[in-house]
């Protein structure tokens, strides 16, 4: 970090700041200018730099503290130039192939899931989505089938070979959900559930980390850091739309987050245009835009009868529309040097 001292810092105050930095474990490189003193402080890789910076800022004589490295060291691009590929039971996310994860918002019934699994598999998806534990805004809303839902997903995997992504909401259920899922979804409402992040970080199962609906990129990457720092490097970021003043769409799908997150981090980034727009008619265009913007995958809601869906029917695609979309996504992928 760089510490700039105020114009009227006394020699005693300067010595005091230097001593403080040394005590924190930094080696220091001061420049005593005519007007001001600037201290470069390096080393101390395990310190919480933001906390140290705040402590220094609270000293009266310090004018400014600038951090040089990004505070999320495991997930930052600075720490690893090569892009990370995450292996979801043999399906690689972050390589040339754009990975399509598709299925119902919610696991409702065996037939509904199996029928959908067959349809999305036929169309070229490689991962089946479906929530068995559902976050619901209202406590009266459907909460999901729980383990019975996970068993239905496992049956669909057995039959089709599709890998499974499903949400885990509670640290106490990480072990249970990990028995059935190939990819653990941490939902937007739980992006800063730090106990949950630590728990999924202790396992080996890859994690699909949705961006909090009001989270800045910096907060999202800090959340990813929570998982990685616990020992699980297999994190996939998922942009799913953020809250803005616009009400026509359910959320505002921030596609600039895709190249931005890739600039800042080496982790793969996928896009969920279903939660991102809330309207099935917008899912196709935004899927294609996401792939054009460099997304490594898509998470798309598909339902045999959207009008009967327990949740998120208005944003769910019918089978034929999904199949058509896969063809269109493939041509966009080709145009940007990728495939589906
Ligand atoms: C979902 O994928 O159905 C879901 C609930 O996602 P999010 O956490 O992004 O709202
Ligand atoms: Mn949904």
| Choice between 73 and 278, residue whose per-residue pLDDT is larger | 278
Residue 52 and residue 20 in contact, taking contact as beta carbons nearer than 8 Å:
no
Q: Please give the model's pTM, rounded to 2 decimal places.
A: 0.92
Which string of DSSP letters, residue by residue, matches 246-308?
--SSSSB--TTHHHHHHHHBSS-EEE-HHHHHS-HHHHHHHHHHHHHTT-SEEEEEB-S-GGG
pLDDT, average across residues 145-170 = 98
Q: Where are the domains of the chain?
A: 2-66, 86-335
173 CB within 6 A, ligand 1? no
70 pLDDT more than 90: no
CATH of 86-335, one of 3.30.390.30, 3.20.20.70, 2.170.190.11, 3.40.50.720: 3.20.20.70
**Is the alpha carbon torsion for 315, 98, 184, 255 positive or negative?**
negative
204 pLDDT more than 90: yes
pLDDT at 82: 95
Phi, psi of 163 (to 5 degrees): -80, 165
pLDDT at 46: 84
275 CB within 6 A, ligand 1? yes
274 CB within 6 A, ligand 1? no
Strand ranges for 17-115 from DSSP E: 27-32, 37-42, 62-66, 86-88, 91-93, 99-103
What span, in angstroms and rounded, lies between the C-alpha atoms of 255 and 56?
A: 37
**What is the residue-averaged pLDDT of the chain?**
97
187 CB within 6 A, ligand 1? yes
Whether domain 2-66 has CATH 3.30.930.10: the reply is no
CA nearest ligand 1 atom 8, residue:
187
DSSP 212: P
61 pLDDT more than 90: yes
52 pLDDT more than 90: yes
Q: Which of 240, 283, 309, 315 gets mutated to test ligand 1 (max ligand atoms within 8 A of its CB)?
A: 240
Q: How confident is the model at residue 60 (pLDDT cuts 50, 70, 90)?
A: confident
């Amino acid at each position: 970090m760089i510490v700039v001292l105020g114009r009227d810092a006394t020699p005693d105050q300067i010595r005091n700041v230097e001593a403080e930095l040394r005590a924190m474990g930094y080696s220091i490189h001061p420049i005593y200018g005519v007007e001001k003193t600037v201290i470069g402080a390096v080393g101390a890789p395990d310190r919480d730099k933001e906390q140290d910076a705040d402590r220094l800022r609270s000293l009266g004589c310090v004018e400014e503290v600038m951090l040089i490295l990004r505070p999320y060291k495991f997930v930052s691009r600075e720490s690893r130039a090569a892009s990370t590929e995450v292996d979801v039971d043999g399906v690689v996310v972050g390589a040339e192939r754009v990975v399509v994860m598709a299925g119902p918002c919610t696991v409702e019934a065996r037939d509904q899931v199996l029928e959908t699994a067959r349809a999305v598999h036929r169309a070229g998806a490689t991962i089946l989505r479906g929530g068995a534990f559902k976050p619901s805004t209202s406590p009266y809303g459907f909460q999901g089938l729980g383990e019975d839902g996970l068993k239905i997903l496992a049956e669909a995997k057995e039959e089709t070979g599709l890998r499974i992504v499903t949400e885990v909401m509670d640290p106490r259920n990480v072990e249970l959900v990990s028995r059935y899922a190939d990819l653990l979804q941490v939902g937007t409402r739980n992006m800063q559930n730090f106990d949950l992040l630590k728990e999924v970080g202790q396992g080996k199962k890859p994690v699909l980390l949705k961006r909090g609906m009001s989270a800045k990129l910096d907060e999202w990457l800090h959340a990813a850091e929570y998982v990685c720092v616990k020992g699980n490097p297999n994190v996939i970021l998922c942009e799913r739309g953020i809250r803005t003043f616009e009400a026509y769409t359910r959320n505002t799908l921030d596609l600039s987050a895709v190249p931005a997150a890739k600039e800042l981090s080496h982790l793969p980034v996928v896009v969920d245009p279903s939660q991102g727009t809330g309207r099935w008619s917008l899912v196709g265009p935004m899927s294609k835009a996401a792939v054009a913007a460099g997304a490594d995958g898509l998470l798309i809601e598909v339902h045999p009868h959207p009008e009967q869906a327990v949740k998120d029917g208005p944003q769910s695609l019918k089978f034929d529309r999904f199949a058509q979309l896969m063809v269109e996504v493939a041509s966009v992928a080709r145009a940007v040097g990728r495939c589906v």
